[in-house]
Structure formats: structure tokens, C-alpha cells
Amino acid sequence: MRLRWVWVLLAGLAVGVPAQELRSLPPTPQDFAWQWSLSITGSGDLVRMSLNADVYARLWRDDVGDVVVFNAANEPVSMAPMHAVWPGQTTMASAATSLMEVPLFRLPAGTPKNSGERVRLVVAQGADGRLQRLDAQIDADPAATPSSDWLMDLSMLHAPVRGLTVAFESGAAPLVARVDVFGSRNLSSWTRLAAGQALVSLDEDGMRLERRRVEFANTQLPYLRLVRTDAREPLPIAAVQVTRVLPGVELEPGLETLQLNGHGEATAGSYRYSSSGPFPVERVNLELADRNSATTVIVESRMRADLPWRERARGAVFRLAGQHGQVDSAALDISRVRDREWRVRTEPAQLKAPVLVLSYRPDQFAFLAQGDGPYRLAAGSARSTRSDAPLAAVARQLQADQDDRWNGAEAQLGRGAELVGGAALAPRPDGSGSPTPWQWLLWALLLGGAFAVVGMVLKLLRQSGA
């Protein structure tokens, strides 16, 4: 009997630390550090909301499990991440887009550049509707240089695009150019989609410096036109890929940015950065402190100070003082991470810390308007976590059609206010590698219990004559 009680004691000690965090009791507002009011617009019992930077800064859990919506009776309502509720929704950039090469045509010299002017073109199309030949009915100067304009045929995509990536001709001369992008439905009237974006192709002391991506808002116009605006020299482009938005991601939120200032480490050219919360980062960018500078960077991150660093991206970054304004390198895409600590190593070593810009798409959730309002979002808890509800079936029932368009209500976050503050949180590992006082006590009790068990076993063996 005594042996049984010892084992019960040891089991209780072993689960004592996470018992509060993994308890099965429903969450209450007193379990959370902060709250935000929710104002709901639109009709419907299923409501969508997005987190903001203020909420991320109050989260304790790295998996965003400590966000819960309460009604006026302080009861938690059913909620779940939006990508689990609505099958067409995703917040992963890699899952939401794909690159696809499109037919490319160089416009003849002398073609008008202004978006309001009409372009008279002779277009030959195949049976599938795609362009096969392009000629201009204009009187161009035979001595003029080739046009710097390119036309892209997107008529067969049948999907929105949000940017393009160029491939430069092999052996092309060094290039720092500014470009605009126009879109058209009929090759006659053009709408500006992007202005003054940079294309760069340079070799600097053996370092390849490139910026090949041009981004703009989603468009379904079937024809795009790339126009060089800083000079008349043609763009040395060999191919173009467009960033195609896959079906069903119309609900995807736009990219938000978070700027972090770094501080130097003992190693020259190495800098540390701290994020205020578990932001779902999918792109990183470095803004160098000095003009006309370039360096190779290795970007690393980790969730906590007691974990090892993991490489997330590497590449060449630069800041050029161009004739038509400053040109910075493009952002580096990464697999989405929620790490709070970041490190940047530079070679050659930068004497000043670059600004680290993290780009993320805010998490979206859906919840049922259960009970009476007003509703509020609570966040930040070390002792309570959300249980995701199976709302996908509810969404299918509530939606009138299944064309990946959200017809439910929207919730906007109001100003934040403290609930129980730091009392709902717990200390985070400090990176020293040493156990906390509570961990020392736990280990001492466990070891003491183990020695007691061994002593009781030996005593029982002696008493039985074994």
C-alpha cells in the first residue's frame, strides 16, 4: 500500500508543472492577460477576424493557442483557425501562389508609352486564343533603338496574378533600371499596376546582386506590359514568370511588416534582434545602414533563447544610390516560422546593424456568435489554451454557395485593455541553460521519491527473505 502511494506521489509531481497549462477546464477571462473588444459588421452567425500586432505582442504561446473569444456571459465561444474552417483559405504564401512562365513579346520601337494613348497592333492569335505574332501599325524611326517595352500574354491563366519575376539574358550588361507595369483587357486601354520598381543585375567584386521581382495588387487582366522608365535602352530580359494566385485564396490577408533594430554580438558583423511575439513570418528583408553597400547575409532564428539557431535564408543584399533614387535588394522568402529571436551574420562585416524587416500575414480565425454580445477577444495565457471547434461543417451549411467567397460577418479589433496582466503569464527561458528554482525543487522531489521507492523495495526484499 505504501509503495502504491509513493508512485501516486511521483506521478503527481511529474505532471505538476504542465497541469495548469493542459487542464481540461473551459477557459475563463481570468486566465488571460489582455482583452480587445470586437465590433461585428455584416450578417451571419459565423464571424471572421484577423489578429493584429498588438495581439501578437501579448501572446504567451508560440502556437497562438492562447487566443479565445468570450461572449457577454464570459463564456468561450466555438472558434478555429480560418484555414481549417474554410477550405479555400490559406495563410501560407507557398500554398497560395505558384510561378508560371508566360509568352513574352518585345513591342516594336516607337510604340507609345503613356497609359492613356491607344496602341494600334496587328495581333495573330491561335485557335486557343493565345498570341502568336505581334506587329505595330506605326511609323517607327528605322534608326531607333529597340523598344524597352515587353508584352506578356496571360490570357490562358484564368487566375489572378500578383507580380512577375524576370530572367535576364546570359551575359547581359550591368543593369539598374526602373520599370512600370500596365495591364489591359483589349491591348488598347492600359491601367498602371506598379510604378517605379527596380530591376537590378550587377556583379560587384564577385558578388551577384540581383533584383528580379516586380509586385502589384492582384489582377486578372489578360495582358501585362513592362515599361522601362529611367532610360531608352532595352531591358535584357530572356523570360518572365508571373506569380499566379491559386483558386480559393481570395480571403488571404495582405502582408504586414515589422521592423526590428539589432544590437551587435561579440563576432564582428553579427547582430541580434528580438520580436515581440510569434508573428507568422514568411519573408525577411535587410535594409543596410550605408548607401552603396553590399554584403552576403545569413539569417537565422529560434523560438526561445535556450534553443539552437536555425538558418532561414541567405543571399546578397545591397543598397545603391541610383541616378533615379535609392535601390534596395528584394526581400528573401522563407518557410513560415513564428520565431521570436533572430540573428543576422554579414560578410563582409557591416559596421552598423541593418534594419531587419519581417513580413507576415496575420492569422485569421472564425468564431460562432454564441450567446449575447458584446464579444471580446482575450489573449496571453500560460495556464489556459483554446480547443479548436469543428466549424468546417458549420461553414458549409451557412454559406449559400461554394465558390470560395466569404459571405459571413467580419469582426474588427478595438483597443486593448488589461485583464489580469502578468498574473496569467509565466517566465520564459532565459537562455542560460540553468534550471529555474522550481525545476530544481521538482528534480529534488523526484530524486527523493525515487530513493524512497528503492529503499522500500530493498526492505520488502529483506523481509521476504529473498
Kindly report the three-state secondary structure assignment for every residue of 217-272: EEECCCEEEEEECCCCCCCCEEEEEEEEECCCCCCCCCCEEEEECCEECCCCCEEE
Amino acid 338: pLDDT? 96
370 and 355 assigned to the same domain: no
Alpha-carbon span 281 to 255, nearest angstrom: 10
Alpha-carbon span 85 to 46, nearest angstrom: 10
For the record, the C-alpha cell of 338 comes out as 513564428
179 and 286 assigned to the same domain: no
**Burial of residue 204, with CB atoms counted within 10 A of its CB: 0-12 exposed, 13-18 middle, 19 or more buried:** middle
Looking at the DSSP assignment, which residues form a beta bridge with residue 264? 271
Q: Per residue in 337-385, pLDDT tens?
A: 999 999 999 999 999 999 999 999 999 999 999 999 899 999 999 989 9
Alpha-carbon span 81 to 229, nearest angstrom: 44
Q: Domain holding 148: CATH number?
A: 2.60.120.260
Of the ranges 73-77, 361-365, 400-404, 454-458, which one carries the lowest mean pLDDT score?
Answer: 400-404
181 and 144 assigned to the same domain: yes
Q: How confident is the model at residue 8 (pLDDT cuts 50, 70, 90)?
A: very low
Amino acid 426: pLDDT? 81
For the record, the C-alpha cell of 436 comes out as 529555474
Q: What is the mean pLDDT of residues 212-218?
A: 91
Is residue 460 in a domain?
no
Amino acid letter for position 405: R
**Residues ≥6 apart with Cβ < 8 Å to 115:** 182, 190, 191, 192
Assess contact for 44 and 410: CB atoms under 8 A.
no
Residue labelled with grid coordinates 488571404: 252
Assess contact for 77 and 387: CB atoms under 8 A.
no
pLDDT at 263 over 80: yes
Q: Per residue in 126-138, pLDDT tens?
A: 555 555 555 544 4
Amino acid 91: pLDDT? 47
Is residue 89 in a domain?
no
Neighbours of 123 (CB within 10 A): 14
Q: How confident is the model at residue 213 (pLDDT cuts 50, 70, 90)?
A: very high
> Which of 229, 117, 237 has its CA nearest to residue 181?
229
Amino acid 395: pLDDT? 76
289 and 387 assigned to the same domain: no
Residue 44 sits in which domain range?
Answer: 30-82+365-424
155 and 186 assigned to the same domain: yes
- Residue that finishes a domain, picked among 304, 325, 360: 360
| Mean pLDDT comparison of 39-53, 88-102, 336-350, highest-scoring range | 336-350
- Residue that finishes a domain, picked among 245, 268, 285: 245
Is residue 165 in a domain?
yes
Q: What is the mean pLDDT of residues 26-55?
A: 92
Is residue 36 in a domain?
yes
> Which of 238, 249, 250 has its CA nearest to residue 101?
238
Assess contact for 10 and 446: CB atoms under 8 A.
yes
Assess contact for 301 and 339: CB atoms under 8 A.
yes
Alpha-carbon span 172 to 410, nearest angstrom: 50
Q: What is the mean pLDDT of residues 448-452?
A: 79
62 versus 430: the higher-pLDDT residue is: 62
Amino acid 400: pLDDT? 56
Is residue 416 in a domain?
yes
85 versus 438: the higher-pLDDT residue is: 85
108 versus 99: the higher-pLDDT residue is: 99
Q: Per residue in 282-303, pLDDT tens?
A: 999 999 999 889 999 999 999 9
pLDDT at 445 over 80: no
Assess contact for 159 and 242: CB atoms under 8 A.
no
99 and 225 assigned to the same domain: yes
Amino acid 386: pLDDT? 92
Is residue 251 in a domain?
no
**Residues ≥6 apart with Cβ < 8 Å to 190:** 115, 116, 119, 182, 183, 184, 225
Q: Per residue in 82-95, pLDDT tens?
A: 888 876 555 444 44
pLDDT at 115 over 50: no
385 and 309 assigned to the same domain: no
Amino acid letter for position 9: L
283 and 336 assigned to the same domain: yes
106 and 220 assigned to the same domain: yes
337 and 376 assigned to the same domain: no
- Residue that finishes a domain, picked among 345, 360, 375: 360
278 and 168 assigned to the same domain: no
Q: What is the mean pLDDT of residues 386-400?
A: 79
- How large a percentage of the chain has pLDDT more than 70? 76
Q: Whole-number mean pLDDT of the chain?
A: 81
For residue 69, CA distances in Å to 20, 53, 285, 369 come to 20, 17, 34, 9
Q: Per residue in 149-206, pLDDT tens?
A: 899 999 888 888 999 999 999 888 889 999 999 999 988 899 999 999 999 998 877 7
pLDDT at 233 over 70: yes
**Residues ≥6 apart with Cβ < 8 Å to 1:** none
- Number of separate domains in the chain: 3
Is residue 458 in a domain?
no
Q: How confident is the model at residue 465 (pLDDT cuts 50, 70, 90)?
A: low
| Mean pLDDT comparison of 54-63, 79-88, 315-324, highest-scoring range | 54-63
Assess contact for 236 and 169: CB atoms under 8 A.
yes
What Rg do the C-alpha atoms of the chain give, in angstroms?
A: 29
56 and 105 assigned to the same domain: no
Alpha-carbon span 264 to 241, nearest angstrom: 39
Is residue 156 in a domain?
yes
User: What 3-state class would DSSP assign to 92?
Assistant: coil
Amino acid 22: pLDDT? 43
Residue 228 sits at φ, ψ, to 5 deg, of -80, 130
